[in-house]
Amino acid sequence: MKKKYAVNLPLHIMMIPALVFSIMFAYVPMTGIVIAFQKFIPNRGFFNSIWVGWDNFAFMLNMPDFSQVIYNTIFIAVMKIIAGIIVPVVVALLLNEARSKYFARSIQTMIYLPHFLSWVILGGILIDILSVEGGIVNRIISGVGFEPVFFLGKNEWFPFTLILSDVWKEFGFATIVYMAALTSIDPTLYEAAYIDGANRWKQTLHVTIPGMVPIIVLLSVLSLSNVLNAGFEQVFILYSPSVYQSGDIIDTLLYRVGFVEAQYGVSTAVSLFKSLIGMILIATSYGLAYRYANYRIF
């Protein structure tokens, strides 16, 4: 036990600056949680505002669209997680099979670039290319004889627009993780499979994919903690009142209730509700990752 502690001591010392930073900017501000139990009036502060107990939580649960917002958040987040795993894995497998390494690196660089752009920039690009009037996507759709599609203004299209655009932005970065996992596969396994008569498809099916399974399982389990994070910045930039029914998520609801309507108590109650569920999901995901993927911080 003492030997293990001595080995991990430098790692714990390295965590001290991050721990101090977290205490200052994550835990000290948690005193604001009391707002969830008050009718908060800014000029009165915490101590002089009216205590209302659980009224803000009751109001939150009785909001007419709250259940729909929860559904939207979970649906969008889960679909992003699923697509964000499948697409990078497929792309990594395809790049791994490319004969020209120059071609593979060029493609990898191009698909990696959107990760560095903010949603402010990408949102403007999407609004332009998906525009009903003059957008390149709808010009192509009209050119083949179909009616233009209002991707950002129709409830049946908007969630899938969010999911696909998020995959477009992030799958290049995730591909790098899976490409790194491919380099850890023992080359002798491919040699043995080749000697046994396995073609490239059989080698991919029985060697490459099983070799990627541990990292796929790990990232899948850890992504459970993001089930309630559907992407505020992306949704906030792309949505409008016409798609609140299918695109409104917890974070955008918090913004409107807290900053637009100035209902600070209700918005804090919603945020606290989300944080508690998120804490449970994070603890569960790390527990599953430790058990099934042997993942640990140290």
Q: Which residues of 127-158 are buried (b: 16+ CB within 10 A; e: fewer)?
A: eeebbbeebebbeeeeeeeeeebbbbeeeebb
Tell me how many degrees the CA angle 68-69-74 measures, rounded to the nearest 5: 100
pTM metric for this prediction = 0.84
Tell me how many degrees the CA angle 263-70-161 measures, rounded to the nearest 5: 110
User: What is the DSSP code string of 13-46?
Assistant: HHTHHHHHHHIIIIIGGGGGGGGGGEE--TTTHH
Tokens of 45: 């502060």
| Per-residue tens of pLDDT for the chain, all 298 residues | 566 667 778 888 888 998 999 899 888 888 888 888 888 887 777 777 888 888 888 888 888 888 899 999 999 999 998 998 899 999 988 888 877 878 888 888 888 888 888 899 988 888 888 888 878 888 888 888 888 888 888 889 999 999 999 999 988 888 888 888 888 888 888 888 888 888 888 888 888 888 888 888 888 877 877 778 888 889 999 988 888 898 889 888 888 888 888 888 888 888 888 888 888 888 887 777 777 666 665 5
Tokens of 270: 């919603």
pLDDT of residue 146: 83
Task: In whole angstroms, give the CA distance from residue 160 to residue 21.
Answer: 37
At a CB cut-off of 8 Å and minimum separation 6, what does 68 contact? 245, 248
pLDDT of residue 204: 85
**β-pairing, 50-51 with 38-39?**
antiparallel
Task: In whole angstroms, give the CA distance from residue 263 to residue 96.
Answer: 53
pLDDT of residue 79: 92
Look at the block and give the residue holding tokens 């009037």: 133
pLDDT of residue 1: 57
How many other β-carbons are positioned within 10 Å of the β-carbon of residue 250?
23
User: What is the DSSP code string of 192-206?
Assistant: HHHHTT--HHHHIII
CB 84 within 8 A of CB 162: no
Tokens of 215: 């990292």
Handedness of CA 66, 69, 75, 80 (dihedral sign): negative
Give the CA-trace dihedral at 35, 37, 42, 46, to 10 degrees: -80
pLDDT of residue 3: 66
* Backbone phi and psi for residue 270, each to the nearest 5 degrees, phi listed first: -65, -45
Task: In whole angstroms, give the CA distance from residue 104 to residue 122.
Answer: 24
Structural domains of the chain, ranges and CATH numbers in brackets: 20-53 (no CATH), 64-292 (1.10.3720.10)
Task: In whole angstroms, give the CA distance from residue 250 to residue 271.
Answer: 8
